[in-house]
Amino acid sequence: MDEMINYKKNPHWEKLVLQKTSQVGADLVLELGGGGTLAKSMASAKINGRISLVGVLTGFDGQVNPLPILWKSLSVNGIYVGSCDMQKQFHNALEANKIHPVIDRIFKFNQAKEAYAYMQSAQHFGKIVIQLD
């Protein structure tokens, strides 16, 4: 079963993950928040589950209690940005599989300062785009 949960509409999304998986937990959690949400990701992962730490949108602060990692035998892996060629392959895969990202808002290039302020406000759900033309 594949599920996506809007964390803004469901602030206790880790509980919803457990509910939707009959208390088993998720096989894979894509963790974008970092220190501020890693504990929720650990709570929502199943025993022997995997957490892929992709971003740190909530910042670098925060303490991580390692006990859930031990109790559940979790794998936590960091994912860092790849090469330009990898980015092209990614875009080709999105196009081939007709996958479209969620776009929250599009800003014109002369609104870049506002776009960054909007991103910093963390009020968005999905991607923020700065249009170059």
**Is pTM, for the whole model, over 0.85?**
no
Contact in structure between 32 and 54 (CB atoms under 8 Å): yes
Domain contains 1 = no
User: Rounded CA gap, 44 and 25, in Å?
Assistant: 5
Q: What's the CATH code of the domain at 28?
A: 3.40.50.720
Kindly state whether residues 104 and 54 are assigned to the same domain.
no
**What range does the domain containing 120 cover?**
84-131
Kindly state whether residues 97 and 70 are assigned to the same domain.
no
pLDDT in tens, 40-95: 999 999 999 999 988 776 666 777 889 999 999 999 998 877 788 988 998 999 99
Is residue 77 packed enough to be buried (19+ CB in 10 Å), middle (13-18) or exposed (0-12)? exposed
Kindly state whether residues 40 and 58 are assigned to the same domain.
yes
- Percent of the chain topping pLDDT 90: 56
Q: What per-residue confidence (pLDDT) applies to 59?
A: 66
User: Rounded CA gap, 13 and 6, in Å?
Assistant: 8
Residue 4 tokens read as 């996506």
User: Rounded CA gap, 62 and 36, in Å?
Assistant: 6
Length, in residues, of the chain: 133
Number of domains in the chain: 2
Question: Pairing relation of β-strands 45-53 and 26-31?
Answer: parallel
Work out the pLDDT band at 5, boundaries 50, 70, 90.
Answer: confident
Which of residues 59, 78, 97 is at a domain's end? 78
